[in-house]
Amino acid sequence: MGLFLNSTKPSYRADVDGLRAVAVLGVLAFHFDSVTAFPGGYLGVDVFFVISGFVIFKSILFRLEESSFSLIDFFSARARRLLPAFLVVIFFAFLGILTVGGPSQIENAALSALFAVAGVSNFYFLSQDSYWAESERLEPFLHTW
């Protein structure tokens, strides 16, 4: 096929994991800092997406050149990798809300968790206050898009 990237068999790359770690640390620092000393949270998310896109694209190219790419297998592999951790996070976040939240917070969290599990949380949050509203900072499922 000879596409524009060398599509050799994808292997573990410590440099890519290191860049992912830096991106995640930027996001964490942004969320734990109440001042703007770490304004790189959004940049960290973008860097993480670019790196993940590179890794996934390289894998797809390799499978295409081997004529073994299947869209069903691709999405199935993503689901097997991401869904277990996603559901654990939803469960424990909701458990935390049940222990410290009031009735309206629990109701809101339950509704947003359902939308998140269905994969359409952006539609729910679109109908709520502004994404940047102070009340949204306490929304545990806001970043499930």
pLDDT in tens, 30-75: 777 655 565 656 788 888 889 989 989 998 999 999 999 999 999 9
104 sits in which H/E element: helix 103-117
Mean pLDDT of 81-108: 91
- Predicted confidence at residue 136, as pLDDT, reads 53
- Predicted confidence at residue 131, as pLDDT, reads 59
Mean pLDDT of 15-28: 86
How far apart, in whole angstroms, are the C-alpha atoms of residue 125 and residue 141?
A: 9
Burial class (CB in 10 A: 0-12, 13-18, 19+), 109: buried
- 8 neighbors 62 (Cβ within 8 angstroms): yes
**pTM for this prediction:** 0.69
CB atoms within 10 A of CB 58: 18
- Predicted confidence at residue 39, as pLDDT, reads 62
Alpha carbon separation from 63 to 6, 68, 71, 124 (Å, rounded): 12, 5, 11, 36
How far apart, in whole angstroms, are the C-alpha atoms of residue 43 and residue 32?
A: 16
Query: In sequence order, what are the residues at sequence separation of 6 or more whose Cβ sits closer than 8 angstroms to the Cβ of residue 55?
Result: 10, 16
Q: What is the mean pLDDT of the chain?
A: 82
